[in-house]
Amino acid sequence: MSGDPRTVVRKFLARPQHEGAGAVVRRSIGRFELKYFDPFLVLDEFSITAPAGFPDHPHRGFETVTYMLQGAVTHEDFEGHKGTIEAGDLQWMTAGRGIVHSEMPASNGTQKGLQLWINLSDRHKMIEPRYQEIASTNIAEASEDGVTVRIIAGESLGIQSPIYTRTPTMFLDFTLEPGAYMQQPVPESWNAFVYVLEGEGVFGKSRSSSTTAHHLLLLGPGDRLMAWNKSSKMLRFILVGGEPIGQPVVQWGPFVMNTQEEIDQTIQDFENFENGFEKARYWRSEATQ
Ligand SMILES: Nc1ccc(F)c(C(=O)c2c[nH]c3ncc(Cl)cc23)c1F
Ligand SMILES: [Fe+3]
């Protein structure tokens, strides 16, 4: 690698806030200090205990990536697609022209996970909805010198995820043993961030300070991330990068388009059950009945 390692340019502590129906999320991307980090719209570390959850709601114009950390979430949509996302499982949902679904706790106790919202370019915003779902046991994993990486999207240690990312994206789940060090290439033209899940780590070229759980680190220019675990406990974090789309973003809750007129049309489509929302007219999820 001929370029420079990336440095940490901004650091945010994601504090709990209420979302959905009684759900608690730690929102890092999508909060007022960081409304949009192209192509990323939202990063939520969510925690839900029944009866709280995310009952019937729509999406248009982007993708949701749900990666379970603890427990399980049951999802069902207006096309009859339903299932349970267990701990370690991945659901990559391309809402495209429109999805209406519910995402609710699948069992008692607290369900925890991450949900990342990835914007779609204008040419993909109205494509047919699609799911890519991988069970935990089928998620590619590699280990080397005290570093274990689960390849959710993109490539690491010579292993490529099967997930097709319309907006080119990498999503890697790293665990470093005490004393371990990692280096991961990141395309120089991509925006990239780290979100710490557990432990304490030192990130970036300057190795200035350590970072603990629930913190998001925006990375500056460079061709790779370096990280160290100088603590006596395990360090776990995700490294996410994406190719900026560079188009206008007009968002109204779960609708993300390029112009206000397209948002007005989307709201009309949803209210009139048209242009992709036809099946929302009579559908209600079982989870919320
Ligand atoms: N207010 C609001 C508006 C629109 C939404 F789509 C949602 C929503 O469904 C979620 C937002 N964060 C999430 N983390 C995890 C899961 Cl499983 C779902 C969500 C929501 F909460
Ligand atoms: Fe949703």
If one counts every other C-beta atom within 10 angstroms of the C-beta of residue 217, the result is 25
First-residue to last-residue Cα distance in the chain: 55
If one counts every other C-beta atom within 10 angstroms of the C-beta of residue 210, the result is 17
Q: Which residue, chain included where needed, has tokens 């990666």?
A: 67
Which ligand 1 atom sits closest to the C-alpha of 20? 21
Beta bridge partners of 85: 73
Q: Where are the beta strands (DSSP E) in 222-284?
A: 224-228, 235-242, 250-252, 255-257
Give the pLDDT score at 289: 78
Cα 254 to chain centroid distance, Å, stands at: 14
Give me ligand 2 centre to Cα 102, in Å: 6
Cis peptide preceding 105, ω within 30 of 0? no
- CA nearest ligand 1 atom 6, residue: 254
CA atoms of 195 and 10, how far apart (whole Å):
12
Give the pLDDT score at 2: 65
Mutation pick for ligand 1 pocket among 54, 256, 285 (CB with most ligand atoms within 8 Å): 54
CA atoms of 278 and 257, how far apart (whole Å):
19
Per the CB < 8 A criterion, the answer to whether 31 and 44 are in contact is: no
Per-residue tokens: 184: 């991961």
Give the pLDDT score at 207: 67
Q: What is the DSSP string of 159-219?
A: EE-----SS-EEEEEEEE-TT-EEEEE--TTSEEEEEEEESEEEESTT---EEETTEEEEE
- CA nearest ligand 1 atom 9, residue: 54
pLDDT tens per residue across all 289 residues of the chain: 568 999 999 999 999 999 999 999 999 999 999 999 999 999 999 999 999 999 999 999 999 999 999 999 999 999 999 999 999 999 999 999 999 999 999 999 999 999 999 999 999 999 999 999 999 999 999 999 999 999 999 999 999 999 999 999 999 999 999 999 999 999 999 999 999 999 999 999 776 679 999 999 999 999 999 999 999 999 999 999 999 999 999 999 999 999 999 999 999 999 999 999 999 999 999 987 7
CA atoms of 58 and 52, how far apart (whole Å):
18
Is there an atom of ligand 1 within 6 Å of 57 CB? yes
Give the pLDDT score at 1: 54
For the chain, the residue count is 289
Give this prediction's pTM: 0.97
